[in-house]
């Protein structure tokens, strides 16, 4: 599932492909993925040219002149840049026909992904970006993180998955960050110490930056967007593992906040 490194990889690849191209037409067989009236969505985008692609957390933000297309890939969303003659598969739910004879195609097996357009004025003042916390690999301070955790009774794992606190971390990388930090995922957020918070932020930045270098993580049946296979799965220490690489004891799998959670009872107190 795309988390910050995977979305950043998509952004970097698409930016070179799309820059300067104009959207000629948009087709969809699943208009519900657009969080606004589909006709209005099309009217705003057709005729506009790609100027830049930004990212905040797990959101892709396509800059098209005076309008911004915000896309969240959720679980299995992928973008493909293909010639329009290439056959469509049944999971491609949105096609942007481009001025150079290519398509920007959005594929989403589970139809969880969402898109919406915003003006520059709306971008940071309305959903979905207005409540988003800072990027987990950005300049987040220990003081900021502790201030967000001090009144919360939920497990630290749930807090780190909350994109309003810090953005970009998903289930895989939260498990890895907590393992590297030696923190039990069930530890109460309000019990996180200054040292814990410092470790969490340092390890989040280190892990996410390294995962970006390796173009993200590809596990289970999932493949990365754009056909790019990530390489960071080779560096996972705990997520989907059975043996702790540090102490050699069994990895425990539990559910925290409804999500499969892997940790080492010996190393993560």
List interacting residues with DNA (CB under 7 A).
1, 3, 32, 57-58, 72, 74-75, 90-91, 109-112, 127-128, 151-154, 158, 161, 163, 170-172, 189, 221, 255, 257-260
User: By C-beta, is 166 or 201 nearer to DNA?
Assistant: 166
Query: Which CB, 128 or 231, lies closer to DNA?
Result: 128
Residues in CB range of 67: below 8 A, 6 or more apart: 44, 45, 48, 117, 118, 119
**CA distance readout (Å), 160 to 130, 182, 256:** 18, 15, 12
Nearest distance, CB of residue 100 and DNA, angstroms: 31
Catalytic pick among 3, 8, 76, 158: 3
Cβ closest to DNA, residue 99 vs residue 130: 130
Our answer to whether residue 58 is catalytic in this structure is: yes
Question: Nearer to DNA by C-beta: 21 or 154?
Answer: 154
Burial class of residue 221, CB neighbours in 10 A (0-12, 13-18, 19+): exposed
Q: Any idea which residue has 């005729």 for tokens? A: 47
- Give the nearest distance from C-beta 109 to DNA in angstroms: 5
98 vs 132, beta carbon nearer DNA: 132
249 catalytic? Reply is: no
Which residue of the set 55, 205, 259, 265 is catalytic? Answer: 259
Q: Is 259 a catalytic residue?
A: yes
State the nearest-atom distance from the C-beta of 127 to DNA, in Å: 6
Distance in Å, CB of 118 to DNA, minimum? 13
Q: Are 185 and 252 in contact (CB under 8 A)?
A: no
Q: For this structure, is 3 an active site residue?
A: yes
Q: Under a CB-based contact definition with an 8 Å cutoff, are residues 9 and 230 in contact?
A: yes
Minimum CB distance to DNA, residue 130 (Å): 10
Q: CB neighbours (10 Å) of residue 211?
A: 27
Q: How far is CA 176 from CA 12, 144, 172, in A?
A: 24, 21, 7
Q: Integer distance in angstroms from the first to the last C-alpha of the chain?
A: 28
> Smallest distance, Å, CB 74 to DNA?
5
Maximum Cα interatomic distance, the chain, rounded to a whole number of Å: 59
Catalytic residue among 42, 44, 56, 58: 58
Return the axis-axis angle of helices 171-181 and 194-213, rounded to nearest 10°: 130
- CB-nearer residue toward DNA: 12 or 152: 152
What is the C-alpha to C-alpha distance for residues 47 and 64, in angstroms, rounded to an integer? 9
Active centre residues (catalytic): 2-3, 58, 259
């Amino acid at each position: 599932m795309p988390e910050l490194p995977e979305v950043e990889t998509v952004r970097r690849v698409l930016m070179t492909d799309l820059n300067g191209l104009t959207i000629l037409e948009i087709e969809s067989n699943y208009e519900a993925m657009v969080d606004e009236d589909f006709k209005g969505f099309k009217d705003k985008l057709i005729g506009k040219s790609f100027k830049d692609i930004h990212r905040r957390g797990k959101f892709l933000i396509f800059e098209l002149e005076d309008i911004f297309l915000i896309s969240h890939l959720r679980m299995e969303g992928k973008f493909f840049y293909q010639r329009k003659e290439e056959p469509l598969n049944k999971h491609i739910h949105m096609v942007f026909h481009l001025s150079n004879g290519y398509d920007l195609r959005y594929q989403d097996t589970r139809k969880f992904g969402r898109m919406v357009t915003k003006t520059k004025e709306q971008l940071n003042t309305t959903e979905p970006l207005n409540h988003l916390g800072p990027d987990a690999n950005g300049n987040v301070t220990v003081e900021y993180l502790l201030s967000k955790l001090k009144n919360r009774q939920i497990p630290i794992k749930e807090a780190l998955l909350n994109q309003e606190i810090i953005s970009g971390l998903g289930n895989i990388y939260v498990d890895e960050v907590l393992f590297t930090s030696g923190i039990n995922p069930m530890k109460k957020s309000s019990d996180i110490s200054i040292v814990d918070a410092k470790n969490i932020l340092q390890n989040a930045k280190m892990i996410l930056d390294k995962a970006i270098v390796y173009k993200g993580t590809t596990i289970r049946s999932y493949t990365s967007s754009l056909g790019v296979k990530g390489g960071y799965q080779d560096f996972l220490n705990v997520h989907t593992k059975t043996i702790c690489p540090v102490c050699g004891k069994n990895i425990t799998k539990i559910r925290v906040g409804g999500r499969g959670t892997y940790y080492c009872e010996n190393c993560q107190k």
